[in-house]
Each structure stands twice: as structure tokens, then as C-alpha cells.
Chains A and B, each alone.
Chain A
Amino acid sequence: MESTAATTPLPLDIPLPLPADPILLQALLVVLFLWHILFVNLMVGGSLLTVVFELIGRRRPEFDALARATAGTVTVNKSLAVVLGVGPLLGLNVLYTVHFYSANALTGAAWISLVPLVTLAFLVTYAHKYSWDRLAGRKGLHLAIGMAGAAMFLAIPLIFLANINLMLFPARWLEVRGFASALALPNVWPRYLHFLAASVAVTGLFLLVYFLRPGGGVAASPSALDRLALRRLFYGIALGASALQLMFGPLVLITLPRPGLSWFLAGVIGVGVVLAIFALVLMWREIAAPRANATPRAAIVVALITATAFTMGYGRHVYRETALRDHRAQMAVHTRDTGWLAAAAQWREATGQGVAQVPLGQRIFESTCAACHGVDRVLVGPSLREIAGIYGGDPGGIAAWAADPGRKRPELPPMPAFRLGEEKLRAVADYMLQLGSGGSPAEDG
């Protein structure tokens, strides 16, 4: 504890048991996260490609139809991205409660702005999709709406990324001043670029399979572009974006802070890279081939990319676990020790050690009434002198008032009721009368 206390905060963990074996929870997290990120990719990539297609569509109308069909996928995928995000978020919350919430608080303004930002992005996306015909004559405006939506979809992942990154580095928590400074930590931007390229690549593959699925026939084709051209287009997008990863991937790896690195991690990532290279080669060859269907080859490409995504997702998890290992171990010790201290203090209090034996009336008065009633002066309510003047010799009257106060002095606020029971109220009434009539057992401080 001493060794790191100066720079690294050492909070207590939540003192309740985990709801399941951590291995099970971790497995859930990794798998559920992949489903979530798939639809996030399709949402971000889809909204970007929609805008690009629509832009091209200003000169080549067949691309406008393609843009419209792509927009139709985004409104569905974005809903799935959100609902599928809840599961992994739950996993993250339960496994990394302290680390995740600390990062959230440190970037709090940006974090909470996710709610209006995502809502707005969704509504703008609906507006874009459902105004295609109505704004056909005002293409500039329609494009602007689409671009506004895409811009928001670009900002949203950055907020998540900053948090997921910040939670890994408790040693930096004390330096951070808001979202902007969390963005300045190493690794955020390379990871963001990596994510964007992945989004475009995955969306390219998705559109390929979705528009050119064998059962779909030519009718499913979204525009006057022939299937051959579409096929080349989508493969081209996927290949181009994946090729960029050959640059972004290593950048992510070298900017990762040391403590989380391990040979095992290198192995996991290495497997992913090899799989991705296979996929790249296959896509390259498919572009050249003169086929009009998505073809079974596309299934192999999708399988390879899926496997790559899995290794990357698992690699992230391995990195996270390693990076946080020491800090969590220290936290566990600290939490246990503090638990003992708290239990000991409770025991001391329960056995009366350290608590003076104060008579009942005085105890209730000091804890319950003294906040508003002083001996000689008006605090919130009247003084005890005044009360003794009214109720001298009638403690029952005080008890009755306290249990159900009326309204007498318009210049003072109303008094809340205290239904403490007859015995306690009588005791406190006796004590108040005693103090108020001057026969004070202890002077008012």
C-alpha cells in the first residue's frame, strides 16, 4: 500500500460477493462484447458509407439508391448496437466496478452527454432515412442531415474508448482533469483509428453479403449498379479498410503502456494477424474474379475476419486483466483490512466502550431536539425558557405537542412531528422542563 499510495489511489472494493465465478463472468463479457461491437461497427461504418454513397450519388444516381438501401440497414443496426451494449456493460460494471466507475466520474460531463448525443444521433438518422423522398429536391439539406448523424456516430465511440482506456491506469487518475485530458493518455487515438477502420471493413463485408446473398436474386440488388460492380465495390471497401489495419494495428500495440504486455498477449494477437492476412489475400483474389454472387468464398472471408475479431477482443481482455492485476490485489487486501477495522469499531460501540452512559431524556434531547431548541434563545424553534413557561408542570403537554405539533408562531417554520413513543417523549419533556426552568443538570454549550 505504501509503495504506491503517493500517486496511485487505493480505493476499497465493493464489499459484496461477485454474483458468479469470475471466469464465467469474463467469458460472458468477451463474447457479448463481440456481438455488441459488431453492430456498433455496422452502425458507424454504415452511416459513414451512406453519406459517401449519397455524395457520389449526386453525379451518379445509382449510388443514391445504394445510399438509401444502406441507410435502411443503419436504423436497424443502431438499435441492436444499443441493446446489445447493455449486456457487456453489465459485465464490465460487475467485474471492474471500481475501475470503470472511477473513469466514468473523471470524464463525467462527456460520459453523461452520451445520453442526449446518442438519442439525437438516432433521431437524426431516422429523419435522414424517412425524408429521402420529401427532400429529394433539396439534396444539400438532406446530405447535411446525414452528415450530422455520421458526425455524432463518430464522436460517440471516442467517449467510450476514453473511459475503457482510462480505467486501466489508476496511476494516472489523479492527473486527469476531465474528458479532454483523458483523451491525451497514450493509446486512445491509435485505438480509435483501429476501430474506425474495422467499422468500415466490417460494414463492407456485411453489405456484400446482405445485398448479394444468393437467395436475394437481382431484385435484392439495391440499385442499377450491376452485381459485378457491387461485388467489386464492397470487396474493395473491405479490403482497403483492412489493409489500413496493417498500419493502425502495430501503432496500437506500440503505444500500449508496458504493464499489461505479456508473451501470451503477443501470441493471441499474432494468431489474429495471421488470420487477417489470409482474409486479405482471399479478398484480393475475389475482387479479380468475375463472379456475380457473394459466393461461398465470402463465407470464408467472414469466418476469418470473425476469428480475427475474436482474437483481438480476447487480447484486449488479456491486456486488461494483466494491467489491473497488481492494483486489484492491493485493493483486495485493503478492503479486507478495513472490513476488520469497521467490525471492531462496531463491536466497541455495541458493547458501550467509549460511549458515555447518558440518561434517556438528555440523550433524546441532544440528538433530536437540540438542533432547533436552545436554552435561552430561539434557534429554529422557541427557547426552553419559553417552553417551560408554557408547559411548567405539564410534561405530558410537551409530549403531546412533539408527537403532533400544531402551528403557533407564524414567524417560525413548522416543527416536524416526532412519534418516539410515550416513554421517550415523557423523558425528554421532563428533561426540557428541568433545563428550561433553570434547574439545569448541565449547562447548554
Chain B
Amino acid sequence: MDFPIFHLDVFGNRLLIAAIASLHVVINHMLAVGAAPLIAFLEWRGYATGDERWDRLAYRLLFICFIVTTSLGALTGVGIWLSTSLVNPHAIGSLIRVFFWAWFSEWIVFVTEVALILIYTLSWRTDWARRHKRAHLGLGVALAVASWLTMAVIVAILGFQMDTGVWTVDPGFWTAVLNPLYLPQLFFRTPFALVAAGLFALAVTGRLTRGDPEFRGRAVRTISAWTLLFCVPWLAAAWGYWQAIPARMLDNVSTALTTLAFQQYLDPLRLLIGASLGAVVLACAWGVGAPRRLPSAVLVVPAVLAVWQLAYFERVREFIRKPDIVAAYMYSNALRPADYPLYAQDGLLAHATYASVRAVTGENRIQAGREVFRLACSRCHTTRGVNGIVAKLAGLYGPGAWDPAVLDTYLAGMHNARPFMPPLPGTATERAALADYLIALRHDPAGLDGAQTAGAAGSTR
């Protein structure tokens, strides 16, 4: 409403954020939060046993983490911010007002974290580190703590988006941070990260220690045991987290898992998820029991599964909070429920800063409908790309002619028919214009341009 509307009409705005955010979570959990303690642990083993090979393995693991986290990891973190501020500036702007000091402290810890990983890595092979191994180990422990703290802060914001708790009646920084989903999610993510890091380490340890089967066996056993240890709190915390999720969100889970198109695969998919968890546990048990028998190729499988689990978990979590982007405060279309009565009274277009028309008239119905679509639907739908509206409607109303009156009825109750979508804001006239636009769109090859190409006032083509 108050910002020029950025829009990706093929890729889709949701997918832009999803791609960047999933990548970030995978890197952050697997190669930073979970990996730092594991690496420090392996370095300590080398120190305690006097066996140089542990030290070498730890350094090699760290080097991979260092390269990836300081480039792709750091940049996708910033990227989440850049992409959300393009797609939903009002939401991220509001979150920043509420959580400014949380983000600020997170930033301080983040600076510390990056400084620590630079020092920890670049000093590893220096004389200083060889002479002062304990101090160097201390750096590793500090890095582990800092990595975890950055995650601990951000999780508060993610929890808040899903359940604002008492904040809506008692707004304040601490009521926002201590939202009902904060701790359950933190308890879940911490062991999840530790497990994922263990699986990553297993996957590369197979290769890194190829020439030394004796040590390979020991390393695989140690890392498998580490991972298996954290599987227990991980699965327990998953159950606790599930219990804490509000019921209205659980209703979205089936769509979140399969999308509407593949609902018939819901049960096989649930099985697959269960199987992938089982495979992780089994692989680690095997690694503890008979590490030498575990071929390197097999070691890679659980890591791949963990990547998928992490990314998939994020997808589901992001989906089930719909239709809200900030629970009970703002819908995913960037409009606040509190403003809906005003839009119902005056019209959505009347209050939109950048709409190319201000009211629906006889001549501009299609254009006005496009503007309503841009404001109310385009955060989640494209015209013909990912989650394209033409295909969605065709799925409902088939290949024949679409009846504007039927469409109009659907739009009036869309939030009830599909509770993950917000209600359509605005007046009945605007709703009818949107229906006309959607019907016309079917035979109009032009899509919808975003402000980044068409300018703030929106394309009128």
C-alpha cells in the first residue's frame, strides 16, 4: 500500500525469499551453529590424546565452514533481509521497530562471531596456536557460543511472527521476545543444528581420511556417537514444538507439506519424512557399531537428508503461519486486519499510495482489478509463473468459461475456503473488478510488472 510494489512474475516473490532463506538456514545450522562446537570438540580430542590427526581433521572441517559461512552464509543472511524488504517492506519495517534492540544485540554478537572465526581459522597453523593450544581451543568454544547466540536471538523473531502471544494487548519489547513459540523453537533448533553438523562432518570425513582406514574408523565412530547423542533431544524437542503450535496453524500443515496439487501423496510423504529421520538415526548407529564397514558413499546420504530436512522444515514453518505474516497484526499481503473496515468503507484503491487508478469506473474495470490483484494477491501469486493465479483458477473452474458471479462469490469467501489466504480487502465493486480482471487475464498474455521495471505507479499495459 505504502511502498512501490516489487514483483517477480515468473519466479514468484515467495520463492525468492524461500530460496535465500533455506540456503541460509542450511548453512547457518549445519556449518556454523552446529559445526563450531563439533570442531572445537575434535580439536580438544587431538589435544587430549596427542594425536595430530584429530587436529588436522578439525582444521579441514573448519576451513570448509570458514569459506562457506563467511561468503555464502553471511551474504544469504543479509539476503533474507534484502529480499523481505523488497517483497514485504511493511512487515519487515514493523518487525524492525519491535525488535530493533534484539537485532542490534544480535549484530554485536555477529561481529564477534565473524571476528572469532577469522582469528580461529587464520591462526590455527601459526606458532602461537601450536604453543598455546588451550587458548586456541578457547577461541573455538567462544565461537560456538557466539554462533548459538545469534541464532537464539533471531528465533525470537520467527516465533513472534507465528504467535504474537500477549504482545497485541501488551505491546513491548519483552512481551514480543518471550512469545509462546520462542523457547519450543529454540529447544528444537539447537539439537537439530548439532545433528546436521554431525552429518555434514561424517560426509566429508569419509573423504578427508581416505588414506588412513584406522583413523577413519575412529573418526567416524566419534562423530557418529556425537550425532546420535543429539538425536534424542532433537526428536523430543520436535514433539514439544509440535504441541506448542496453535491449532489453526496445524490445519495448514497438510497443504504446507504437499501443496494443494499433491494432497493425495500426503501419507507417502509422511512416511518419507519418518523414514528419513529413521535413516539418520540408523546411519549414526551403524557408524558407532561398525564404523569401518560404512562406505564413504553411504556417509553422504544422511547429510543430504539433513539438508532436505532443514530446508523442508523452514518451508513448512513459513507456510503454516499464513495468512498472517505477523500473527494477529498483519496479513501476508502486508495489510493489517485493523485497517480492513476502512478499506471496506472507502475502497482499497482509495488508500493505496501508488495505484494507477483511485476508484473503479465503467471504463477502467480491468485496470482497477489489476491494481487490486497487485495489492491483495501479488505477494503470494504470480499471473502465470510459480503459484500462478490463472492456473489456480483453472484448477477450480475448469477449461470452460468462468462466470464472474461465481468468481465474485469465491473472492468474498476465499479466506474461509482456504484459511491460509487473507480475506480480500476493499469494496464489493472492487471485488467485482478483480473478478473481471482475473477472467480477462486468462486471455491476456501480458503478466504483471513489478516496480523494479515498470516504476512505482505500476504498469498500465
Contact = CB atoms under 8 A, between A and B. Distances in A.
Interface string B56-87: 00000000000100111011101101110110
Interface in B219-250: none
A407 B107 CA distance: 52
Contacts of B6: 104-105, 108
A272 B4 CA distance: 37
A126 interface: yes
A79 B456 contact: no
Interface in B84-138: 85-86, 89-90, 92-94, 96-98, 100-101, 103-104, 107, 110-111, 114-115, 118, 122
A118 B75 contact: yes
Contact of B118 (A20, A76, A108, A414): A76
Interface in B413-428: 413-414, 416-419
A89 to B, nearest CB: 8
B353 A108 contact: no
A282 interface: no
A358 to B, nearest CB: 13
B417 to A, nearest CB: 4
A141 to B, nearest CB: 20
Given A101-B3, A126-B67, A84 B111 contact: yes
B452 A108 contact: yes
A178 B93 contact: no
Interface in A145-179: 173-179
A240 interface: no
A342 interface: yes
A11 B74 CA distance: 32
A345 interface: yes
A390 interface: no
B76 A115 contact: yes
Nearest to B5: A105
A115 B412 contact: no
B97 A17 contact: yes
Contacts of B96: 90, 93-94, 97
Nearest to A420: B416
B457 interface: yes
Given A176-B456, A338-B351, A341-B342, A104 B86 contact: yes
B70 to A, nearest CB: 5
Interface string A94-111: 100110011011111101
Contacts of A417: 251
A122 B74 CA distance: 11
A84 B122 CA distance: 20
Contacts of B173: 19
Interface stretch (B36-44, B194-202, B296-304, B403-411): B403-411
A374 interface: yes
B345 interface: yes
Contacts of B114: 79-80, 83
B51 interface: no
B264 to A, nearest CB: 8
Contacts of A118: 75, 78
Interface string B291-311: 000000000000000000000
B278 interface: no
A178 B98 contact: no
B11 to A, nearest CB: 11
Contact of B78 (A11, A82, A101, A348): A82
B86 A346 contact: no
B44 to A, nearest CB: 26
Given A106-B4, A346-B341, A417-B251, A9 B418 contact: no
A113 to B, nearest CB: 10
B289 interface: no
Nearest to B247: A419
A160 B58 CA distance: 38
Interface residues of A, number: 74
B129 to A, nearest CB: 17
Contacts of B275: none
Contacts of B72: 119, 123
A18 B20 CA distance: 28
A154 B131 CA distance: 41
Nearest to A72: B122
B454 interface: yes
B330 to A, nearest CB: 11
A179 B354 CA distance: 19
Contacts of B213: none
Given A17-B97, A101-B85, A105-B6, A177 B455 contact: yes
B100 A19 contact: yes
Contacts of A266: none
Residue with the highest number of chain B CB atoms closer than 10 Å, among A82, A86, A380, A413: A86
B451 interface: yes
A115 B410 CA distance: 39
A122 B70 contact: yes
Contacts of A348: 341, 345
A55 interface: no
Nearest to A127: B67
A19 B20 contact: no
A83 B114 CA distance: 7
A11 B456 CA distance: 12
A371 B75 contact: no
B97 A18 contact: yes
A17 B96 CA distance: 11
B78 A174 contact: no
Contacts of B4: 102, 105-106, 173
Interface in A236-281: none
Nearest to B410: A371
B100 A349 contact: no
A302 interface: no
Interface in A329-385: 338, 341-342, 345-346, 348-349, 354, 366-372, 374, 379-380
B94 A16 contact: yes
B344 interface: yes
B406 A379 contact: yes
A114 interface: yes
Contact of B93 (A9, A101, A106, A345): A101
A202 B359 CA distance: 55
A90 B452 contact: no
B135 to A, nearest CB: 20
Contacts of B93: 14, 93, 97-98, 101
A371 B75 CA distance: 44
B395 interface: yes
B93 to A, nearest CB: 4
A10 B3 CA distance: 10
B453 interface: yes
15 contacts: A19-B100, A87-B111, A101-B85, A101-B89, A101-B92, A106-B4, A108-B450, A111-B86, A119-B75, A122-B70, A174-B456, A176-B456, A178-B455, A416-B417, A445-B405
Interface of B: 1-6, 16, 20, 67, 70-72, 74-76, 78-79, 81-83, 85-86, 89-90, 92-94, 96-98, 100-101, 103-104, 107, 110-111, 114-115, 118, 122, 173, 251, 260, 263, 338-339, 341-342, 344-346, 351, 353-354, 395-397, 405-406, 409-410, 412-414, 416-419, 450-457
Given A19-B101, A102-B89, 19 more contacts: A79-B74, A84-B111, A90-B96, A101-B86, A101-B92, A104-B85, A105-B86, A105-B451, A106-B455, A111-B452, A112-B86, A123-B72, A341-B342, A345-B345, A345-B346, A367-B416, A371-B417, A374-B409, A419-B251
